[in-house]
Amino acid sequence: MLREKNNKILSLTDDYLSKLNESICGIRDIKAIGLKNIDFRIFSSLSLEIRNNNIELNILSNTAQTATQAFNYLSQLLLILIGGYFVCKETLSIEYFVAFFSYSSIFNNSLLNLTKVNSSLQQVFSSSRRIFELIDNSIYQEEEFGDNEIEQVVGKIKFEEVKFEYMSSLPVLRGITFEIPCNKTIAIVGNSGSGKSTILNLLLRFYDPLSGAIYIDDINIKDLTENKLRKNISIVRQNPMLFNKSIKDNLMEVNPNATEDEMLESCKLACIHDFIMTLPQKYETYIGENGVLLSIGQKQRIAIARAILKKSKIILFDEATSSLDNNLQSYINTAIKKISKNHTVIIVAHKLSAIIEADEIFVLDQGVICDSGKHEFLIQHNSLYNKMFKLEAELLIKNGSSEKTKEEILYDFNGSTTKALESGNC
């Protein structure tokens, strides 16, 4: 009985730690796709089940120890009475009685020790106690959201004098202001640490700005409910979070009411349907923890399909193509082009080849937007953008990703002569 209960606790603990690892690694994606409350309920259910089983195990263990100890005391009392009787009758010598009593006491104490919980189990209980203390921590601060249940999000975004810093006196954004119309594709480029990903994190309210305001459809995002904010924004990261479930379950989790036709259509738009149909189990294929059985490009396209199926009006891409080769990047670019017709798309990228077709490109430098415009304009009028573009061409040649010359690569990207690239304006 004790062994079965102990095995069950260990199994539940394994499930709990596996879920904990999955949730910590993908906390931002879980919040972004609106699964925070579902995830919390799963945690609560697992922790409650572990706690209840621990209580039952303690009751069983203490009952066994109490019964053994009672048997020990009763047997010693009975031994004294019977032994004393035979000593008085002179049929048993006092020396034999004392020796027998001593050995029987040693035996009973050993039997009692066998019922005690071993040291390794005590370590498990100690670890569980610390986990429960963390779960029950009343200091946890719930995120504060508004109560505006906007009926339908169009997708217009506005940043107004937004300032932000992760550490005091080290500003990341220095009062940026910009506006994004609905159903447009906007790209944000800049050097590492310029604040590109911070803009996306602020839009998702993983952080709040120190000053300024962020609006969606002219409504301050602080006034929106968590459900409305997270439902209408999806994000695709460089290594998106996927769950240890089937492809279908990963897709349908964000929108359980979606039809199978809607799921198939979202995968076709994301250019992943044909690949899924080549798998033995197709959409029922299990992909392992965090999608370990898939490539980065396949995971990203499934994440794009998930964002489409979620019916988010705003879709964010955070360095989604930075680790992909040209073939995989072309799949992602095609998917982005398809969905941009009916979605507001924001792309953060180091690879400028991923954003040259954007409706507008913001160049971020030291926390401010130093320039904006289409690719053709920036390549000729912004020195930072031009420098980044040349650097990418040089890296392609250096890494052997292209057999073309630097000028040929730049020509392909720009679609025009490279004369302007070498001019004094660049």
Please, which residues have CB within 8 angstroms of residue 103's CB and are 6 or more apart in sequence? none
CATH dotted code for 157-420: 3.40.50.300
φ, ψ of residue 2 in degrees (nearest 5)? -65, -40
Locate 111 and state its tokens. Answer: 């039997």
Please, which residues have CB within 8 angstroms of residue 329's CB and are 6 or more apart in sequence? 321, 351, 353, 354
Please, which residues have CB within 8 angstroms of residue 254's CB and are 6 or more apart in sequence? 33, 34, 35, 306, 309, 310
Burial class (CB in 10 A: 0-12, 13-18, 19+), 117: middle
Range list of β-strands (E), 244-359: 314-318, 344-348
pTM of the model: 0.65
Question: SS3 of 179, please?
Answer: strand
Element (H, E) at 335: helix 326-339
- DSSP type of residue 246: B
CB 30 within 8 A of CB 39: yes
Domain residue extents for the chain? 2-135, 157-420
User: How far is C-alpha 13 from the chain's CA centre?
Assistant: 20
Looking at residue 13, its amino acid is T
User: How far is C-alpha 116 from the chain's CA centre?
Assistant: 41
Could you read off the pLDDT tens digit of each residue along the chain, which spans 426 residues? 666 776 677 778 877 877 787 777 777 778 777 778 888 888 888 888 888 888 887 777 777 677 777 777 787 777 777 777 777 777 777 777 777 777 777 776 766 666 665 545 555 665 676 677 666 654 445 566 777 777 778 889 999 999 998 877 778 888 899 999 988 999 998 887 788 888 999 998 888 888 899 999 888 988 888 888 888 888 888 888 888 889 999 999 888 889 999 999 989 888 889 999 999 899 999 988 878 888 888 888 888 889 889 888 899 988 776 656 666 677 777 778 877 888 899 998 777 777 888 889 998 888 888 888 888 888 888 878 888 777 776 666 665 555 455 455 555 555 443 333 343 333
- Helices and strands, counts by H and E, the chain: 15, 10
Question: SS3 of 181, please?
Answer: coil
Please report where in the chains the tokens 């057999």 appear, as a residue: 403
